[in-house]
Amino acid sequence: MTKPTVLYNGSCPVCRTEIEHYQKLDRDTDRLAWRDIGATDQAAGCGVGPEALRRRLHVVDADGRLLVGVPAFARIWQELPRYRWLARLVDRPVVRPLAAWLYEPLAAGLYAWDRRRRRRVAAEAG
């Protein structure tokens, strides 16, 4: 069976730090595949453009479904022993919309900050 694949923005220092934490927890179980889309324009073959992939966390589950934002986090947490409780909590009907409401502005802010940062780095290099 194919492992769920996490598509994350490794060019964003905040995003990368969180994903590295999850990767460390996954080392023993190796239940997730990890794909850094932050440093490339490759859209990871999932029908989503590179900027949309950088904007929010994405997971392609074992059945090929694309999960975005809070559902993507919940899918990761389901595979990590210390986070399974959080996946169950976020999946509750009352909590799910609240979590999405909190995630969206946070993700938008991180994306805007990373985009400005990438432009600045590119301008300094070129």
pTM for the structure as a whole: 0.88
Question: For residue 13, is pLDDT > 80?
Answer: yes
Torsion, Cα of 63, 66, 69, 70 (10° steps): -30
- Give the model confidence (pLDDT) of 64-80 as tens digits: 999 999 999 999 999 99
The answer to whether 69 and 104 are in contact (CB under 8 A) is: yes
Q: Would the pLDDT of 45 be above 90?
A: no
Rounded Cα–Cα distance for residues 66 and 38 (Å): 18
SS3 category, 60? strand
